[in-house]
Amino acid sequence: MKPLNFWYTPTNALAWRAHFLAPLGALYGALTGYRVRQAPIYVSPRPVICIGNLNAGGTGKTPTTITLAQMLASMGHSPHIVSRGYGGSLVGPHAVSATDNAREVGDEPLLLAAFAPTWVSKDRALGIEAACNAGASHILMDDGLQNPSVKKDLAIIVVDAGKGFGNGLCLPAGPLREPVSEGLKRADFVLSIGTETQQAQFAASTTLSVPHLKGHLEPLQTGLDFANLRCIAFAGIGHPEKFFNTLRDLGAQIIRAEALADHQTLTPALMKRLSNDALLQDAQLVTTEKDAVRLPQSFRQQVVTVPVRLVLNKDTELRAALTALDA
């Protein structure tokens, strides 16, 4: 579901639509609560680290998963990533390879596979079992906080510090998959991602019952100077405006910012239109790393990608928790 503006009005000034939809939100939250309280069916022989969220829409799970994969590898481990492959057609378990495409496995697994062996499986337990049989030392479960079928050894809730938990209501009245208080009961950490100002606002407006990690996203240096670069930017992620703001911070001159639906298919017709517009306006097409894996092959040389990585303010507590999994 595309994030809606009224989800992020203050809790003391709810929009009329939030008030109207609140009973449905309460029902949604109650049903989710009933489901997640079910006992896990599968217990993995290897530690399972769940990177999840309470909000619908983009919070930063993918860069968090990449950071954890790199962190575990630096500690001498061999992590594998298991994803349900949102938007992909394969049921799995399937080991993602460079020959796969986003229609089959989803865009996020294609991106994640560049950093660690990645599996797509609609049944998470079967995916984890396949990863363990293939030599995984740790399982990074991309999303799945609300999936009770697998026992988690460590759970991290990722939240956009700038948006927080919105108006505090569950779908469709607000952005939440379940009430914050319920989700925190199953979490070991909350990781908020944003600027210093956003972090301060989040801390002032939110009471957490678990350790709080903080981080921000930084664009990787690719050698391309974005200062005054005329560009047409497009993004099909949870919150496209974050990508557009990143480009502006880099000094780019955005001629047009095209916000697409999350995981939207980049059809040849859409890309032809964007390519023609860029040619007419003497502009460069620019997109996110996640969108880039969905590009038709014939357009990949025409589009510049801006990769971003998560930088943690402090990682001592997280590293200690990961080390404790081996005890």
Pairing of strands 284-288, 230-235: parallel
Check residue 164 and give left, alpha or beta (phi > 0: left; psi -120 to 50: alpha). Answer: left
**Separation CA 264–CA 102 (nearest Å):** 11
Contact predicate 94/120, CB 8 Å = yes
Q: Where in the chain does DSSP place strands (E)?
A: 48-52, 79-83, 94-95, 118-120, 138-142, 154-160, 189-193, 212-219, 230-235, 253-259, 284-288, 303-306, 308-312
How far the first Cα of the chain sits from its last, in Å, is 40
Exposure letters 73-101 (e unless 16+ CB within 10 A, then b): eeeebebbbbbbbebbebebbbbbeeebe
Given a contact cutoff of 8 angstroms between Cβ atoms, the answer to whether 96 and 80 are in contact is no
CB-CB contact of 210 with 189 (8 Å): yes
pLDDT confidence tier of residue 1, bands split at 50, 70 and 90:
low
The pTM of this model reads: 0.92
Q: What is the β-pairing status of strands 189-193 and 138-142?
A: unpaired
225-277 pLDDT, tens per residue? 999 999 999 999 988 999 999 999 999 999 999 999 888 999 999 999 999 99
pLDDT tens digits, one per residue of 36-54: 998 889 999 999 999 999 9
| 90-105 residue pLDDT tens | 998 999 998 998 899 9
The domains of the chain, with CATH numbers, are: 48-217+311-324 (3.40.50.300), 230-306 (3.40.50)
Q: What percent of the chain is predicted at pLDDT more than 70?
A: 99
β-pair partners for 193: 160, 215
Tell me the residue type at 40: P
Mean pLDDT of 112-121: 96
Identify the pLDDT of residue 2. 67
| Residues 145/146/151/153 CA torsion (nearest 10 deg) | 20
Measured CA to CA, the distance from residue 296 to residue 293 in angstroms comes to: 8
Q: Give the helix/strand (H/E) hosting 74.
A: helix 61-74
Sheet arrangement for strand 138-142? 94-95, 118-120, 79-83, 138-142, 48-52, 154-160, 189-193, 212-219, 308-312
Alpha helices in 75-195, H assignment, sequence order? 102-105, 107-112, 124-133, 180-184
21 sits in which H/E element: helix 16-36
Phi-psi region at 251: left, alpha or beta (left = phi > 0; alpha = psi -120 to 50): left
